[in-house]
Chains A and B, each alone.
Chain A
Amino acid sequence: MLRQISRLVDPLKGRNLSLTSSCVESKLLRTSQFSTNASESNAVEDVDTKKTLNKAMRTYLERAREHDEFMKTQRREFEIGKRHLANMMGENPDTFTQEDIDNAIAYLFPSGLYEKKARPMMKPPEEVFPQRKAAEFDETGRPYHFLFYTGRPNFYQILHEAVQHIIELNKFEDAMIRKKLEPDPNLTLELSGSKWIEKEILETNLVETITDKEYSSFINVMDRLASLPYSYRIKDLIMQYRKSLINQSKTFEAIIPQLDENGRQFVSVYECRRKRATASVTVRSPGTGKITINDLGIDYFNGVQQREQASVVWYNIFDRFRGKQQKPRFFYCTEKQRIIMHQRPTHGMGQQRTIGRNNV
């Protein structure tokens, strides 16, 4: 307890002891000065007690401040570095996003290391250095947060607020029932495409460690909160703790076919690549089922396997695009014929020629 730490600064010698672990030992040290007449020098002693108290607090606050300063300098360096990098890459420094930075670094410092986190990277300092909490108590030792003594104030604050919301929403629901109103079904919270954020992410957000039990109680509380009929009133708060599961688009956007001069629909896709081969494909509808590759038929391919693949793949794709049973009409390859013909076999694959495989 701080009020009972003996004085660490001997005013005569002006020594400053470090406070972290030596606090425990210094507690046992006897101070040089103690008074017997309490009333007389109480004023002075109050100052001294306050001094020792403040010293300990001040060291802690200093460390917190140092960390802040450190982060600031790192931030500045990062910004300067970003501008240099942009100049190097010939891009506009002002519109240089983090993605561009990642690409630039990958280009300048190509690395074959398997561990992605071991590769060279340039990220903002908040992501690189672990976040620390700002000073949690003031100079007298009084903590700022009312749940400080639980050890995880931020986490339990969330639970406290969630319970507060539950109570308020229940009251609101009661009021609505009294008025004989019902919740709007269009506004009900849509939670199917998301899940509650994971424990690790919650830990990083709160800068606190959480046990599994605490995390499961968090999930219980949030489930309860989200299941209330009027939970849409605090939609933002709930969505804050939801992570959407679906990353790709929900709908599959089919390519819209264009019309050529005969009034037939066609779809062209360019720059289809496989290894070093490039092709462009046009599919016409309604068609005849004819396949043309570089002005030749399916005979362009020497191997039976390649021929089968060419005809089968397009058949299946066609079905998916149109949803109807249709024979593939025809398609043709244009460029880089020579490259296709002379493509070398791949490394260690043996004598098998790999021309034409999936390069349409």
Chain B
Amino acid sequence: MLNIRNFTILTEKICQNIRLLSAAVPQPSSTSNNPLASTEVSQTVKEDVLKHPDYFNVHNLFTVKDLFEARVHYGHREGSLDNKMLPYIYGSRLGYTIFDLDKTAEYLRHALNIAAHVAYRGGIILFFMRSPQNAHLVERYAKECGEFAHTRFWRGGIFTNAEKQFKAVTRLPDLCIFLNTLNTILTQHTAVRDSAKMGIATIGIVDSNCNPNLITYPVPGNDDTPIAIELYCKLFKEAILRGKAKRKEHLEL
């Protein structure tokens, strides 16, 4: 049984290598008559989707020029630089830190891929934004892609004491996307630590004054400019919608 499986995996890998990077649908080889075909994608299909390096084509969503024009490369001043961010900083121009956009692009594509996969598996995604200037924008985009947003004061026990907070057994998010990791008093958002505690994967836009250690998939970049935030929102929304569309397609098969 296992040998046959390995063989099939091998043949698939060969096929995929021949195929160009396109989001061609691998035919779901549903070996068993899955009674839950309507509510859950079969495991084999899920595994096939994971094998593809960029199943949802997220690398086409943006270019480095888009990042430049959205001013993603602007960091804060040298004085507020967190040393853990140094690997992602290109340098400092007259006191202002500048992000290395090649690296940012790489990390961002990685993060978008993750978000798309989570959406594909029907995960709950929670957006965080603690800057009042951009909070409404983030809430709007979260609503549009059918996911959730939290741009308000973080009440301590939402993740860690969920049953008492919501007065019922609640399902916690599977992915938290922080569009800025600092709160209004420039300390790390409690939800970063709480997600790490509760074992929730996180994606976070880390600016030059942030600590990227606890974030699973950090994306170094500007988190203050509205135009940069809008760009991130658009990209994540697009990735999530692609993931959901594929999920719907596979559920109907």
Would A and B touch once assembled, by the CB under 8 A criterion? yes
- Contact A146 to B40, CB < 8 A, known contacts A2-B169, A151-B165: no
Residue of B nearest to A19 (CB): B169
Q: How many residues of B contact A (CB 8 A)?
A: 38
Inter-chain contact A43/B172, CB cutoff 8 Å: no
* Known contacts A151-B165, A164-B136; A50/B40 CB under 8 A: yes
Q: Is A229 an interface residue when CB atoms closer than 8 A count as contact?
A: no
Given contacts A43-B43, A50-B39, A137-B171, contact A146 B149 (CB under 8 A): yes
Given contact pairs A23-B169, A141-B170, A50 touches B36 in the complex (Cβ within 8 A): yes
Q: List 23 A-B contacts (CB under 8 A).
A: A1-B172, A2-B169, A2-B170, A23-B163, A39-B5, A39-B44, A40-B1, A43-B32, A43-B35, A50-B36, A50-B39, A50-B40, A137-B171, A141-B170, A146-B142, A146-B148, A149-B126, A149-B173, A151-B165, A163-B136, A164-B140, A167-B136, A213-B153
A160/B172 contact (C-beta < 8 A), A39-B43, A43-B43, A147-B149 known: no
Complex contacts, A19 vs chain B, CB 8 Å: 169
Q: Are A56 and B169 in contact (CB under 8 A)?
A: yes
User: B42 within 8 Å of A by Cβ?
Assistant: yes
B-side residues, CB < 8 A to A, are: 1, 5, 32, 34-36, 39-40, 42-44, 122, 124, 126, 136, 139-140, 142-143, 146-150, 152-153, 155, 158, 163, 165-166, 168-173, 198
Please, how many angstroms separate the alpha-carbon atoms of A213 and B169 in the complex?
Answer: 27
User: What residues of B have a CB within 8 angstroms of the CB of A23 in the complex?
Assistant: 163, 169
A163 contacts which chain B residues (CB < 8 A)? 136
A3 on the B face (CB < 8 A): yes
Contact status A137-B36, CB under 8 Å = no
Docked complex Cα distance between A167 and B169 (Å) = 37
Contact A43 B42 (CB under 8 A): yes
Residue of chain A at shortest CB distance from B176: A149
Residues of A within 8 A of B139 (CB): 146-147, 160
> Does A341 count as interface, using CB distance less than 8 angstroms?
no
Any B CB within 8 A of the CB of A301: no
Shortest A283–chain B CB gap in Å is 64
Decide if A47 is an interface residue (CB 8 Å cutoff): yes
A140 within 8 A of B: yes
When the two chains form the complex, which single residue of B42, B143, B153, B171 contacts A146, counting CB atoms closer than 8 Å? B143
Q: Which residues of the partner chain B approach A146 to less than 8 Å between Cβ atoms?
A: 139, 142-143, 146-149
Distance between A166 CB and nearest chain B CB, rounded to angstroms? 9
With a CB–CB cut-off of 8 A, which chain A residues contact B165? 151
Q: Is A316 an interface residue (CB 8 A)?
A: no
Of chain B, the residue at the smallest CB distance from A47 is B36
The chain A residue sitting closest to B136, CB to CB, is A163
Are the C-beta atoms of A2 and B40 separated by less than 8 Å?
Answer: no
| A163-B43 Cα distance, complex, nearest whole Å | 43
Judged by a CB distance under 8 angstroms, whether A60 is at the interface is: yes
- Chain B min CB distance to A158 (Å): 12
Within 8 A of B (CB), among A135-174: 136-137, 140-143, 146-151, 156, 160, 163-164, 167
Known: A1-B198, A146-B146, A146-B149. 5 other contacts (CB 8 A): A1-B172, A2-B170, A39-B43, A140-B39, A143-B170
Output the nearest chain A residue to B32 by Cβ-Cβ distance: A43
- Determine whether the beta carbon of B35 is less than 8 Å from that of A47: yes
Cross-chain contact B163 with A142 (CB below 8 angstroms): no
Which residues A164-219 have CB closer than 8 A to chain B?
A: 164, 167, 213
A334 at the interface (CB under 8 A from B): no
A150 touches B198 (CB 8 A): no
Give the docked Cα–Cα distance between A94 and B136 (Å): 49
Q: Which of B39, B42, B124, B169 is the one whose CB lies under 8 Å from A142? A: B124
User: Does A42 touch B at the CB level, under 8 Å?
Assistant: yes
| Any B CB within 8 A of the CB of A24 | yes
Task: Judge whether A46 is part of the interface by a CB distance below 8 angstroms.
Answer: yes
B172 to chain A, nearest CB (A): 5
- Chain A residues with Cβ below 8 Å from B32 are 43
Q: Considering the complex, give the chain A residue whose CB is closest to the CB of B139.
A: A160
Q: Given the complex, which residues of B lie within 8 Å of A156, measured CB to CB? A: 152
